[in-house]
Amino acid sequence: MIKQLLLSISLFFVCSVHAQIEKELPAKLNPPKLVVDYTNTLAPDQQDALERKLTTYDDSTSNQVAVVIIATTGDRDIADYAVALGRAWGIGNKEFNNGILLLVAKDDRKIWIATGYGLEGALPDITTKSIIDNEIKPNFKESDFYRGLDEGTDAIIAATKGEYKAPENYLNRKGRSGKRPGLLIMIIMILFFLFVNRRGGGGGGMYNRSGRSGFVAPLFFPMGGGGSSGFGGSSGGGFGGFGGGSFGGGGAGGSW
């Protein structure tokens, strides 16, 4: 009973925050692309090469890996931003939730790999953290963004096939540093906001799209469903569009 109550309360807060974040996200492209660079970091041929690789992977497995480069997430936490963007764009298949978003905030010098529900088993947080630390960050530090993304997406694809192996002793060195706050922290935060709400009356809050106010809560609790129906049509035999997948709290990040 208590667990169900906490779940309901958490979902209420998450919905309020998600509606606000969605207003600030980049609009979907039409025709759709798996590689979207809002910063002109990648040369056209580099972007095309990544697009072809990820489209081929999508065609052969239905798993969708999207790479998005933005300048900054502003004052938004990159993990929350990535989850919201993955849901809003509907990356992955609606039935299997098998999407992955590799988000780069270039000016912030931050990376986050968000994993859809359906791939959290094949791509656990410690694996995404290893990919960031060993394949992506070393190249980004040398300003070789294409190579970092190319090798990073290669490692993601290999991991979903069970072929990627983290360097020896990597798990012991990193422990659980790639993980996000756990259930205990979530419960503490929910109780805190309930306490503030009870003491503060009806004032303040953040408004969602329906015009009703609600307090902001951390966006790290998995929320099912969601996700857009994706883009329609196809792009000249290329990527046909996202399928309405959704994301939870799986993933890891880093900075360079």
| CATH code assigned at 103 | 3.10.310.50
| In a domain? residue 223 | yes
In a domain, 186, yes or no: no
The pLDDT, as a whole number, for residue 6 is 66
Domain that holds residue 26: 2-180+218-232+246-255
Domain total in the chain: 1
Cα angle value 97/103/108 (rounded, 5°): 150
> Considering the domain boundaries, does residue 195 fall inside one?
no
201-235: per-residue pLDDT in tens? Answer: 443 333 333 333 343 434 333 333 333 333 333 33
Full-model pTM: 0.67
Most distant pair of Cα atoms in the chain: their distance: 58
124 located within any domain: yes
Map residue 168 onto helix, strand or coil.
coil
Does 154 map to a domain? yes
Q: What is the pLDDT of residue 25?
A: 87
Quote the pLDDT of residue 76: 93
Quote the pLDDT of residue 105: 98
22-70, pLDDT tens digit by residue? 567 888 778 889 999 999 999 999 999 999 999 999 988 889 999 999 9
